[in-house]
Amino acid sequence: MPHQDRTGGSAGVLPADDVSTLVEFLRCRVADDRASLGEDLEQTGPQHQIGTLHQSTVLLAPGRVFAHLDAVEHTLGKYEDAMSWVRMAQEKGQDTDLHRAAASAYLDMLRMHAGEWATHPDYRPSWRRS
């Protein structure tokens, strides 16, 4: 079933298999990043300057990376929960608009997160926000 991403209008429609692939892509990228960081990395370790942005120093620390990966996983879970509510409402013949709106918002965030790995060979340009 295609998922109408209402925040993106007609250009925001993603076929169900594209959404499934997006979810799997993000799960794999998060797992890869966690494996690269290792389980023994001290989350409160030193911060490393990675550049400047508008005259402010941009710092990256293990704790920020772990928190970000947690946020991606949390959003994945929320999207799946919202779609579960859509299916339950459909089965009961109820209105699904509210649940679809929630799923659409989470899908929008997932598409934005996927852009962080846009240089990965498995990334699909169709996931970009229009």
**pLDDT grade for 9, boundaries at 50, 70 and 90:** very low
Q: Spell out the domain ranges in the chain.
A: 15-38+60-127
Q: Which amino acid is at 95?
A: D
Query: Looking at this protein, which amino acid is placed at residue 107?
Result: L
State the pLDDT at residue 40.
65
**pLDDT tens across 29-44, in order?**
999 988 887 776 666 6
Q: Are 100 and 13 in contact (CB under 8 A)?
A: no
As given in the structure block, the two tokens for residue 55 are 């005259």
What's the pLDDT score for residue 55?
A: 73
pLDDT digit string, tens, across residues 76-127: 999 999 999 999 999 999 999 999 999 999 999 999 999 999 999 999 999 9
**Residue position matching structure tokens 């023994």:** 40
pLDDT bracket for residue 62 (50, 70, 90): confident
Backbone φ and ψ for 72, nearest 5 degrees, come out as -65, -45
